[in-house]
Structure 1
Amino acid sequence: MNQELDWNKEIVLEDERVLLRPLQESDVEYLEVFSEQEPDTWKYSLIRANGRGNLVNYIRIALQAKANKTEFPFIVLDKKTGSYAGSTRFYDINLVYKTLQLGYTWYGKAFQGTGLNRHCKYLLLEFAFETLGMERVEFRADASNARSIAAMKSIGCQVEGIFRSHMPTVEGGRRDSIVLSILRQEWFESVKENLKNKL
């Protein structure tokens, strides 16, 4: 089923392990603990959320992009612990070309390596390909962010290449960006089943 993305709808994606719901301004209260205690979470991020002020700005930018209909940010609830774990989003959404990017994903340290990310990615990819009818879902990361790249490969992403000196970093330098993707036929032929078996 292909449907338009309803920007005003309360889109909730969930399974037995995780729940993703639209990010809200008030969610700063749930995410502030990571912002204050785990500032290195945003080491590779182009928009930092370390410290309450930066987190408020991070959420405000995400919600403005949603209002502009280019991004759809979620907050992630770990149903196993009953605690909010982090955030992720669809961005660079192009409904005409049937493409989008999946990223700005981060979790508190206690939730990393627990399988939570695979559940999130399964739900997001299923929604992108099977509800929105996307043809391509793209992922990007700092080419030196080994943890993020390994996580993307583990869910079935194919490496396409590296954009050299692609964008500025917060520190003032420039970063190379690695580009990965999953195509619609790959999702249905193998990625979906392989990812489901890892949940």
Structure 2
Amino acid sequence: MEFTALPTLVGGRVRLEPLAETHAADLAEAVAVGDLWRTWYATHIAAPDDMADDIRARLALHRAGTQVPWAVIDTRSGRAVGITTLLNLEPEHRRLEIGSTWLGREAQRTGINTEAKLLLLGHAFESLGCIAVEFRVHWHNQQSRAAVARLGAKQDGVLRNHRVWPDGTIRDTVVFSIIDGEWPTVRQSLTQRLAGHA
């Protein structure tokens, strides 16, 4: 399967479907709860009024072959509650990054993120034949760093002064990864965690 393939991935609580402009209204509503897009380290989250433009930009990156974007659908409500993406695609090295992900506040800590990551990791390791999957997180985003560690990813290191943000601040990026030999244990752990959210 091509690294840029965009299949629908289905779990019990979550469906990852190809991101489309039809998701804009749901996503604008999800991001508006608690003004999620105003979180200072979340520059990749669009404001409600900018959501349609953000989706179009992500679709253009997919057409260019650099990113693979999904809408995260809560199967209980049938509504889009976030976005997740494969990026830094390196098929020649059989590795990629799961990132540029956000979930509306009401979907956080519900098992949705855990199952979405389980689906994406299964896609990466089992369908694409990856030998490593990476996660990159802002040093100061403690919630996301803890969430990535709970997935079973190990911290590889910190890229110091890695990115200059639009407001001029500098981002240190924490890099985590899961490698293919770890995937069976990670899969089992995530499956057991999901059983607690049933």
- Normalised TM-score (structure 1): 0.90
For residues 21 and 77 of structure 2, the distance between their equivalents in structure 1, rounded to whole angstroms, comes to 23
Match in the other structure for 1:82: 78
Match in the other structure for 1:91: 87
Match in the other structure for 1:193: 188
Match in the other structure for 1:50: 47
For residues 179 and 6 of structure 1, the distance between their equivalents in structure 2, rounded to whole angstroms, comes to 22
* Runs (4+) off by over 6 Å: none
For residues 100 and 78 of structure 1, the distance between their equivalents in structure 2, rounded to whole angstroms, comes to 25
Match in the other structure for 1:29: 25
1:110 paired to 2:103:
no
1:127 paired to 2:123:
yes
Alignment partner of 1:148 out of 125, 144, 163: 144
Q: Percent identity?
A: 32
What's the C-alpha RMSD, in Å, of the aligned pairs? 1.6
- Normalised TM-score (structure 2): 0.91
Give the deviation of 1:42 after TM superposition.
5.5
- Count of aligned residue pairs for this structure pair: 193
For residues 65 and 93 of structure 1, the distance between their equivalents in structure 2, rounded to whole angstroms, comes to 12
SS at match of 2:42: coil
For residues 38 and 63 of structure 1, the distance between their equivalents in structure 2, rounded to whole angstroms, comes to 26
SS at match of 1:198: helix
Alignment partner of 1:4 out of 2, 5, 11: 2
Q: Is the 1:101–1:138 Cα contact (8 Å) retained in structure 2?
A: yes
Q: Is the 1:38–1:50 Cα contact (8 Å) retained in structure 2?
A: no
Structure 2: unaligned runs, 5 residues or longer = none
Going from structure 1 to structure 2, the CA distance change for 1:56 and 1:38 (only over 3 Å counts) comes to: farther
SS at match of 2:93: coil
